[in-house]
Structure 1
Amino acid sequence: MSDQPRDHDIVVYGASGFVGALVARYLAEHAPAGTRIALAGRSEARIAEVKRRLGVDWPVLVADATDVPALERIAAATRVVVTTVGPYAKYGKALVRACAAAGTDYADLTGEVLFARQSIDDNHELARSTGARIVHSCGFDSIPSDIGVHVLAQQVTADGAGELTDTTLVVTSMRGGISGGTIDSMRHQLDVVKNDGKLRRVAASPYSLTPDRSAEPDLGRQDDTAVLSGSAVHPRLRGTLAPFFMASYNTRVVRRSNALRGWEYGRAFRYREAMSVGASPLSPVIAHGTRLGLGALMAGLSLPPTRYVLDRILPKPGEGPDEQSREKGHFTMDLFATTTSGVRYSARFRAKGDPGYAATAVMLGESALALAHDRDALPATEGGVLTPATALGDALVTRLRAAGMEIAARRG
């Protein structure tokens, strides 16, 4: 990050949106005294209303997502930008470029493979030259996955147990719905790849976010939609595991972290994600049905007649559950791994709050605070387009634990 004086420590871009307002509220309640925060977006009146509801005296900055000069002024005026404005492939490119050029740290909530790939291609070297940490995917996509593996690998290394090999994240418990923003991003990416075979191949590759595909070890086919036997993942797991709908993005982020760290997790590190559907005799049926359902959702969003129907059923961008529903949400993700020495390890990432809203606001808010206040505790890096693990690492782990999230790893 540039050492030039800035007017603000953190700017929340998209503060009048549903998730943006939740992040702003989290910062209003938890940012250390003296943190200079500003709210930004395209509507001054709507941002002013958020400011009024929060009861804060923060500056209001106005910039449309297509107004490059205005976005450049925002990036130059702050140390950190956090943005909740998506789909990012449609609305986020100019802002991330402005931050990379200005040496301004940046964090978002994207779960879009093609946006992240283009951001890497367009901004990684520029951000390295300015020292900017461009950190994509700082919410439920993909902090539990990326930070969970980070903590797991640290424990293995501390114990001298070798390196990670087969590693599986299992969503063992979750309450909360998929956000409208996630659905909108899904729609946009499907539209983009529909008539472009090259982009389809990029989106489908398990190594689509790694720095150099040719440098990756040949680990064979890695299927992010596989149905798995629980006992094959770990002896204490029962039933059949279904595909996890966010695996196709999260797995790519974790693989990028491993590559950026020079394959510290292991050259034989194979990573996948799944979801528990219980241990009843019906779990195989439910798991295979889940896989078919995910495929049907993708197909339905790709075809105009079925998309018309789905658009009236699925959550819309800018909408979300009420506060009571958000507070009742929760998630638990357990990781199971075997090391090169043959030892089993496990880790857990558990949090209260609706994953896509309440918990995501905490994760993005704490990511911003780590960038703004924990410079000496962040992983050593020249900057670039990074991941939560490689940009924030232990500083974020400490913050999330202090915020009430359980993050732990152990042998066995």
Structure 2
Amino acid sequence: MSEFDIIVYGATGYTGRLVAEYLGSRNHGVRWAMSGRSQAKLEQVRDELGLPDQPIVVADADNPESLRALCEQTTVVLSTVGPYQLYGGPLVAACAAKGTGYVDLCGEPAWMRQMIDAYEADAKASGARIVFSCGFDSIPFDLGVWTVQNAARARFGRPAPRVKGRVTKMQGTFSGGTFASARATMAAAARDPQVLKLMIDPFALTPGFTGPSQPKGLMPEYDDTLGAWTAPFVMAAINTKNVHRTNALTGHAYGTDLRYDEMVAVPGLGDVGRMAAEAVAKLNPLGGDKGPALGDGPTRTEREAGHYEIKFLAEMPDGERVVATVTGDRDPGYGSTSKMIAEAAICLVKDVDGAGGIWTPGALMPEPLVKRLEANAGVTFRMEG
């Protein structure tokens, strides 16, 4: 038996600290520790959180031996140390070699594909269950599609070939970590055309399978079902790829003909709504040279004032449809994300076995994770009608 169930790697960072605070405030029945490269900073965060007896494990992404030692001490590593394309590869390699579970917040699809190609065989051989994208990228979307497709099968006897993800409400900001990941991805794409190719390929995370042509989601459009104008959604590039990977890993439980996209609904009727959608389409909140520094993020008040609502519309060829709604009670990127990844790690420890490999939440643990999120993390999944 490992000494710990979960080690939070990156506990001194903005999001890692939120995860540690969440784990330290709950009676969740897991043995956990805080990890990072600085003993002094870890002790400072531990004291500031009021967790004087919390174990500490020092490990550094630049020291492979320390990462191997980290993996030997725990059942699951929860990593918040990004950008993952700069710091994450050695840890994934160590987990895959040692058979250690792993969850992260990665929204970097080109790096994820590199990890799949490099380490999925090792993870299958060792039994390591590696699960990327366990925050707002992409749990609400991955499990939202799972929820609505279950309803489609129950009502129509088969999955829907067309699913729309529509963000209808969202209040929240992003941190320096998210900005740094976006900057690193853009730099990598400028150096390597293959990275750009993966970024625009909806099936970049399903090696060996390419499905039908997908909606682009790049231009404003009017959605008759919502009765609203919609604009491109900045996180669609990663979420859609994870949904297709879930589908592939489950033997195409959603069908081989699935067409899926994500857009954000904007307020306003008629020309006002159209102009608002066009304005959103021109806005890239992660672009440009100015953004928050690493370690920065929204205040507690901002996190607690945040929220989101996403509707998933599953449409059948004859026009019949079912609709599911996912909501979160904190800002999506940090208040809600920190709870989601913590519950995903606990779920991996306590609720599921599963074979080794590189998974998505929706392929490895959808039902128990939905139950945990609804019970503990302020995330709801409900069917309409």
Q: After TM superposition, which residue ranges in structure 1, 4 or more long, deviate above 4 angstroms?
A: none
Select which of 371, 381, 384 maps to 1:407: 381
Report the residue type matching 1:396 in the other structure.
L
The SS at the match of 1:164 is coil
Please report how far the alpha carbon of residue 278 of structure 1 lies from its aligned counterpart in structure 2 after TM superposition: 1.1
Please report how far the alpha carbon of residue 284 of structure 1 lies from its aligned counterpart in structure 2 after TM superposition: 1.1
Q: Which residue is 1:290 aligned to?
A: 280
Report the residue type matching 1:226 in the other structure.
M
Report the residue type matching 1:109 in the other structure.
L
The CA distance in 2 between the partners of 1:102 and 1:195, in whole Å, is 32
| Residue pair 1:352, 1:405 contacting (<8 A) in 2 also | yes
Select which of 70, 79, 101 maps to 1:74: 70
The CA distance in 2 between the partners of 1:36 and 1:88, in whole Å, is 25
Q: Which residue is 1:271 aligned to?
A: 260
Select which of 49, 54, 59 maps to 2:44: 49
Q: Structure 1 pair 121/277, CA: closer, same or farther in 2 (3 Å)?
A: same
**Quick check: 1:395 aligned with 2:384?**
no
Q: How well do the aligned residues superpose, as a CA RMSD in angstroms?
A: 1.6
Select which of 120, 140, 149 maps to 1:144: 140
Select which of 163, 166, 187 maps to 1:191: 187
Q: How many residues align?
A: 382
Select which of 158, 161, 165 maps to 1:165: 161
Please report how far the alpha carbon of residue 127 of structure 1 lies from its aligned counterpart in structure 2 after TM superposition: 0.8
Q: Which residue is 1:222 aligned to?
A: 215
Unaligned runs of 5+ in 1: 302-306
Identity of aligned residues (%): 38
Deviation readout 1:210-252 (Å, 9 max, x if unpaired): 131xx333x2253142322120xx2xx1221011110011111
**Quick check: 1:383 aligned with 2:376?**
no
Select which of 209, 226, 239 maps to 2:228: 239
The SS at the match of 1:288 is helix
Within 5 Å, give how 1:12-161 maps onto structure 2.
12-33=8-29, 35-56=30-51, 57-161=53-157
Deviation readout 1:81-122 (Å, 9 max, x if unpaired): 101010000011111111111111100001001111111111
The SS at the match of 1:40 is strand
- TM-score, length-normalised on structure 2? 0.95
The CA distance in 2 between the partners of 1:117 and 1:333, in whole Å, is 27
The CA distance in 1 between the partners of 2:15 and 2:154, in whole Å, is 37
The CA distance in 2 between the partners of 1:120 and 1:222, in whole Å, is 25
The CA distance in 1 between the partners of 2:157 and 2:114, in whole Å, is 37
Report the residue type matching 1:197 in the other structure.
P
The SS at the match of 1:30 is coil
- TM-score, length-normalised on structure 1? 0.89
Report the residue type matching 2:351 in the other structure.
D
Unaligned runs of 5+ in 2: none
The CA distance in 2 between the partners of 1:268 and 1:226, in whole Å, is 23
| Residue pair 2:174, 2:298 contacting (<8 A) in 1 also | no
Q: Which residue is 2:247 aligned to?
A: 258
The SS at the match of 1:209 is coil
The CA distance in 2 between the partners of 1:87 and 1:199, in whole Å, is 15
